[in-house]
Structures are given as structure tokens and as C-alpha cells.
């Protein structure tokens, strides 16, 4: 609301002068013509909330001041104003009644009668009824001229057919009153703006706010606090907090100390964090501010922040649909992934380098209950020990030389409500393995240099290309951590074990490279596919993708030349290439160097593919019994389906 000034005027002449001055100074002035005889004081009382300040003069000003709470400015009538009016009256009559509001200064006017040679009678009043009585008294004494403030004197004189002269004030006095009123109005407007601004802040903050004065009376209560305690501010403002039953829980939270931090209370089944702190001015406590935050809203806010981080890069871009393969091994693996993904249990992925461990980890995350949370990846083999620790667990400001101001959250914190993927977990130093075990068991972390525990809700997917059990036996990996990680195990088969997937993978990679290099390589031919299947692919899917990229760049046409495939793969590692000109008897096989048991299984697996007929013949060729052959084939089948 714009600042407004009310002028309760007792004189039309003064009203007109005040209106002109106000317009010239841009003051929003409303004029009510009529003093106390015309209920000007009543009007002021009824409308005081509409105005910042009220102007009037004489008795009317004093009467209004007693009725209202807004500031009242009085236009002063000076002794000089009265003397000038008396001099005017002398020219009309020597029998004059001076009717003025009771004031000690006016009694001194009697001393001036001899000097001015004016005969006048002084009639004073202090209220509305006395004014009427004094006018009647003056008339009864035969007074022929009435002098007073305002049009009420002129009206009374007209009623009794006598002369009247109004005591007018100077324009300077009117101007001074208007300027003072405008200044007060501007201050009031600023106070209103400030109050409204603070109220808006209070009403739109995420905290419930109460303010107490130094006597523990409630002076502020925002809308959220009203909602929390199911009260109306209009009902409890200016009451002592000790007298409001709904706020008893706050009284219980107020300690003898000046401040209370992060105390948890419960109101109407809502858990709240309470903070109480004083407003101190020159060592004196003037107010207490109480803030209340709903724990559930803080948790949602935390999730929102982490979701923003998720949007900024901590997310899983791969899905099950991105896993290419029609082999029985891959189909069984996808079936298993769908089952384990729905749980929150830790998963250990075992796979050779280049098999696509992160592809599978991200796919698990994206069909889990945590799919809307962050997905955080770290390669434990890619960082030195001290850097790995700070990245995983974060640090506080000043924890070590070069630590960022304000500290830094660790990846476990960033993965809250989501998944963290620990690739190459076998390379994690032993001392950090102990801290990782605590995270898995307690869901708690401690920042480097920190003195408080942070709770984290995460799902851990670890991956390794090493035999962790062997490392446990060698003392290179913690036994307790191994069993904590190896709850749900997933083995990604190497590419050589699912060669029927090579064609589909190669075609997918050619599509990708065609877009990257603006080429038009067609799908691979049957001859090229056979050559690719004869290669051992020690680098697995990553090696196949690299080969496709090379072929795309170096190709001279729309098709891949088989000779290019032979030359490229032979030049890489001749030992991994199975010659295409196998003997007619098909009795040549190629195995990967490994431990004896694994080599035995490789021989039996490849031999069984060459001899698809009677297993008795195959057992005879291998020099083992049919029972042993059956057991080994069963073992191979179980390994492939696990």
C-alpha cells in the first residue's frame, strides 16, 4: 500500500492551502474537513489503519492523539498568530471572546490587554463538551466577536448572529507539518516493505520459524511453523511459549544453554531438527530464533542434490538392450542378471580384460530399484593409493597439503541411494580394503581428516580380471572382504567361448564406426565371419571393436577383404589365429595357455565340437573313460550357464 497522510482540518482555508502544498510536494494527502465538533476525531480513529500519519491542529490534534496508535502531527498555533488575530478583532469590536484550547501560554495574553488596548475575555476548554459550554457562556455575556481556531467558531457565531475571526496559522507551519508527515510516511513505508520482505522470506523458507522476545513471548510464527504445530499465529502471538500446549515440545528442547543445535524432536509423528539461537546486542539477549526442519524434507533435498549430480554425469548410459549376443552363454547371463539386479546385494563380476564389465554393471543398475539414483565408477588400478583413498572417501578442509577449501565429498557419498562400481577391485591396496569392508558392513564412511560419520545407502558392484581366491591364499587380498564381495557372482564369458556372437558384435561396431567416420561398410561376409571366429580374441570384445575401427579406416570399399582380416589378425599374434586350412580329419585344436585343469577343459570342449557323434569315440581319442568325459562336459556346461 502506498504511504498516505490524513489531514483532519478545522478550517477550509487551511485545507485548501494544505492541498496545494501537498500536490506540489507529491504527498498523498487525504483531507477530512471538520474538527471534534464534526467528529473528525472519530473519523481518524475508524480509519487509522489506512494511514501512516495524521495531521491536525489544536484540540483536535490532541484528542486524536489519545485515540489512535499512528503518529499525529499538530500544526502549531503560535502566540504571534493569536496577537495578529486580536489586532484584527480590535477594528471590529472592543468586546471579544478568545476561545482556545487550555494552555498555560495563553494565560499570559491577559498581560497584553493594556498594551494592545483590547478588551477580550479568555475562554478555555479541554474537551468537546467544554468547547460548546464556553461558546454559550461567551454569548450569554454579550460578547459580540468570537475568536478561535477552525470553522466551528464561525459556525457558532453565525448561529448567534455575532462576528467571528479564525486564528489562522502560517503557511510555513502547514508546510513543516506536511514535510514531517511525509518523512514519517516514507519511514513507515520502508518498515512495511522490510516487514513484508522478512515475512515473505519466513513464509517461503523450508524451515518453520518461531521468534521469542526476552520474556519468551511469541513474536513471530511463519506459515510452516503454523502447519507443523497446527496452530494459528493470531491465536498465540504475544503469548508466553510456556502457556501454549502445542509448543511444549519446544520448551523441552530449550536447554539452559543459549544455543541448541541439531536436536531431534517429534511433533504429530513428524521428526524435526531443531536449532535455537539468540539475537544478542551488546551482550544482552533480545530475541530467540527457533528453526525447525523436517527430516524427511532434508532427505528429499539431499536426494535432489544427488539427482542433479546424477544428471551432470554420474549416471549409467548402458542398458540390457545394449548387450549383443545370441549365444546360450549370453542368454543365460542376461537371465541371471535380471534376477540379481532386483536385489540390493553386492555383486562380484569376474571377467577377462576387455569383456565389457562396465557395460554389464551399468545394465544391472538400470534395471535395479536404484535406477533413478547415481551410478559412480572408479577404476581401482588407475590411481595411486593416496589419491584413491581421497577419491573414495573424500576429505575435509585442511586434511592434507593441497586439500580444496571446504573439503570434497568422496565417491561413496556421491553414490548415495545409487550404485558404485569398483572396477579392478583386486588392485585396491590392503589398507583400503579394510575401509571398504567397513562401508559394506556398516554403510558408514569417515572422510579423511573428518571427525564425524556419514551414513551412505549404496549398492556395490565390484569387478576383477584376477582370481581373487588365489590372491586371498597368497595374502594379497583380504579373505573377509572377498567373502563380503562374492555374495552374488557373475562371470562374463570371454569372446572365444561365445564365438557365435562375433558376427552380431562386429556388425554393431561397423554401424558405430560408419557414423563416426562417415563410411558405408556393409555387414561382414560369411568368409570374414569364419576368419573372425577362428581367431582367439585374447583382448575380447574390446579387441574386436578396435579391429573393426581399424578395418573401417583402412578399408578401400564397402566390404571387408578376407585377406585384410588374415593379415591384420596374423600380424597381431600368430599364436592366437587358428589356420583356416584345417586338415580333413579336423583333428587340430587350439588352446589358451592356462593351468592344467583349464587346459583339459578347453581340449574337451573343442574336441566335443569336432566330434559331435558318439561320445565313446571321443573318450577313446582322449584316453579317458566315458564317465570322466561326461563329468567334464557337465562341468563345462555348468560353468557356461553360471
Domain spans of the chain? 5-76+172-185, 79-168, 205-294, 313-491, 522-641
The reported pLDDT for the residue numbered 306 is 54
Cell of 242: 510456556
Fold of 79-168: Rossmann fold (3.40.50)
The reported pLDDT for the residue numbered 462 is 95
The reported pLDDT for the residue numbered 1 is 44
Map residue 235 onto helix, strand or coil. Answer: helix
Domains 79-168 and 313-491 share a fold: yes
- Residue in the structure block whose three cell numbers are 517461503: 204
pLDDT at 84 > cutoff 90? no
CATH class for the domain made up of 5-76+172-185: alpha beta
CATH homologous superfamily, domain 313-491: P-loop containing nucleotide triphosphate hydrolases (3.40.50.300)
Query: Does the global pTM surpass 0.75?
Result: no
Express each pLDDT in 286-317 by its tens digit: 678 888 888 777 766 665 665 555 455 577 88
Q: What is the CATH number of domain 205-294?
A: 3.30.450.20
> Measured at the alpha carbon of residue 481, what is the angle toward residues 479 and 486, in degrees to the nearest 5?
95
CA-to-CA distance for 506 and 518, rounded, in angstroms?
Answer: 17
**Of 329 and 118, which is predicted with more confidence?**
329
Express each pLDDT in 545-590 by its tens digit: 999 999 999 887 788 888 888 888 865 555 555 433 333 334 566 6
Cell of 236: 498465540
The reported pLDDT for the residue numbered 347 is 95
Distances (CA, A) of 116 to 84, 86, 261, 400, 628: 11, 9, 78, 95, 146
Long-range CB contacts (within 8 A, 24+) of 523-528? 524/560, 525/559, 525/560, 525/562, 527/562, 528/560, 528/562, 528/565
Amino acid at each position: 500500500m502506498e504511504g498516505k497522510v490524513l489531514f483532519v482540518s478545522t478550517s477550509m482555508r487551511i485545507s485548501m492551502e494544505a492541498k496545494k502544498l501537498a500536490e506540489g510536494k507529491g504527498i498523498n494527502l487525504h483531507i477530512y474537513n471538520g474538527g471534534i465538533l464534526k467528529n473528525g476525531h472519530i473519523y481518524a480513529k475508524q480509519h487509522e489503519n489506512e494511514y501512516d500519519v495524521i495531521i491536525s491542529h489544536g484540540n483536535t490534534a490532541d484528542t486524536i492523539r489519545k485515540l489512535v496508535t499512528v503518529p499525529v502531527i499538530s500544526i502549531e498555533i503560535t502566540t504571534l498568530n493569536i496577537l495578529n488575530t486580536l489586532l484584527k478583532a480590535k477594528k471590529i469590536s472592543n468586546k471579544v471572546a478568545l476561545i482556545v484550547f487550555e494552555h498555560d501560554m495563553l494565560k499570559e495574553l491577559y498581560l497584553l490587554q493594556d498594551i494592545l488596548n483590547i478588551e477580550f475575555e479568555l475562554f478555555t476548554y479541554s474537551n468537546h463538551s467544554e468547547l460548546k459550554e464556553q461558546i454559550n457562556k461567551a454569548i450569554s455575556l454579550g460578547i459580540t466577536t468570537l475568536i478561535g481556531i477552525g470553522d466551528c467558531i464561525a459556525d457558532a457565531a453565525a448561529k448567534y448572529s455575532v462576528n467571528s475571526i479564525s486564528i489562522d496559522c502560517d503557511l510555513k507551519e502547514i508546510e513543516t507539518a506536511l514535510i514531517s508527515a511525509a518523512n514519517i510516511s516514507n519511514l513507515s513505508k520502508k518498515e512495511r516493505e522490510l516487514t513484508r520482505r522478512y515475512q515473505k522470506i519466513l513464509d517461503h523458507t523450508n524451515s518453520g520459524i518461531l521468534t521469542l522476545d526476552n520474556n519468551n513471548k511469541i513474536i513471530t510464527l511463519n506459515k510452516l511453523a503454523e502447519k507443523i504445530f497446527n496452530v494459528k499465529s493470531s491465536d498465540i502471538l504475544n503469548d508466553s511459549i510456556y502457556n501454549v500446549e502445542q509448543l511444549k515440545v519446544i520448551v523441552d528442547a530449550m536447554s539452559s544453554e543459549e544455543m541448541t543445535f541439531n536436536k531431534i524432536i517429534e511433533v504429530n509423528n513428524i521428526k524435526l531438527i531443531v536449532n535455537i539461537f539468540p539475537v544478542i546486542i551488546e551482550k544482552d539477549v533480545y530475541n530467540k530464533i527457533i528453526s525447525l526442519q523436517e527430516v524427511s524434507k532434508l532427505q528429499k533435498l539431499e536426494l535432489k542434490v544427488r539427482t542433479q549430480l546424477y544428471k551432470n554425469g554420474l549416471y549409467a548410459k548402458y542398458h540390457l538392450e545394449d548387450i549383443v549376443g545370441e549365444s546360450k552363454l549370453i542368454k543365460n547371463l542376461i537371465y541371471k542378471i535380471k534376477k540379481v539386479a532386483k536385489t540390493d546385494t553386492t555383486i562380484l563380476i569376474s571377467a577377462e580384460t576387455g569383456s565389457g564389465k562396465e557395460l554389464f554393471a551399468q545394465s544391472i543398475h538400470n534395471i535395479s530399484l536404484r535406477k533413478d539414483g547415481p551410478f559412480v565408477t572408479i577404476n581401482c588400478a588407475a590411481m595411486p593409493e593416496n589419491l584413491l583413498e581421497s577419491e573414495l572417501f573424500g576429505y575435509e578442509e585442511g586434511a592434507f597439503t593441497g586439500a580444496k577449501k571446504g573439503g570434497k565429498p568422496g565417491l561413496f557419498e556421491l553414490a548415495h541411494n545409487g550404485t558404485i562400481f569398483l572396477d579392478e577391485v583386486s588392485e585396491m591396496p590392503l589398507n583400503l580394503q579394510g575401509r571398504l569392508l567397513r562401508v559394506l558392513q556398516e554403510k558408514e564412511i569417515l572422510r579423511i581428516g573428518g571427525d564425524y560419520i556419514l551414513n551412505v545407502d549404496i549398492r556395490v558392484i565390484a569387478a576383477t580380471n584376477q582370481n581373487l581366491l588365489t590372491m586371498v591364499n597368497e595374502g594379497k587380498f583380504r579373505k573377509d572382504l572377498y567373502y563380503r564381495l562374492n555374495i552374488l557372482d557373475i562371470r562374463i564369458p570371454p569372446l572365444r567361448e561365445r564365438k557365435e556372437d562375433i558376427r552380431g558384435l562386429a556388425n554393431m561396431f561397423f554401424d558405430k564406426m560408419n557414423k563416426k567416420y562417415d563410411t558405408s561398410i556393409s555387414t561382414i561376409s560369411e568368409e570374414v565371419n569364419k576368419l573372425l571366429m577362428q581367431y582367439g580374441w585374447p583382448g575380447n570384445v574390446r579387441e574386436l571393436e578396435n579391429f573393426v575401427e581399424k578395418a573401417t579406416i583402412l578399408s578401400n570399399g564397402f566390404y571387408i577383404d578376407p585377406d585384410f582380416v588374415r593379415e591384420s589378425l596374423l600380424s597381431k599374434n600368430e599364436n592366437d589365429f587358428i589356420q583356416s586350412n584345417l586338415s580333413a580329419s579336423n583333428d587340430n585344436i587350439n588352446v589358451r595357455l592356462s593351468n592344467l585343469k583349464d587346459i583339459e577343459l578347453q581340449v574337451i570342449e573343442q574336441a566335443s565340437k569336432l566330434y559331435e557323434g558318439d561320445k565313446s569315440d571321443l573318450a577313446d581319442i582322449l584316453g579317458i573313460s566315458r564317465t570322466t568325459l561326461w563329468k567334464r562336459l557337465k562341468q563345462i556346461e555348468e560353468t557356461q550357464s553360471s
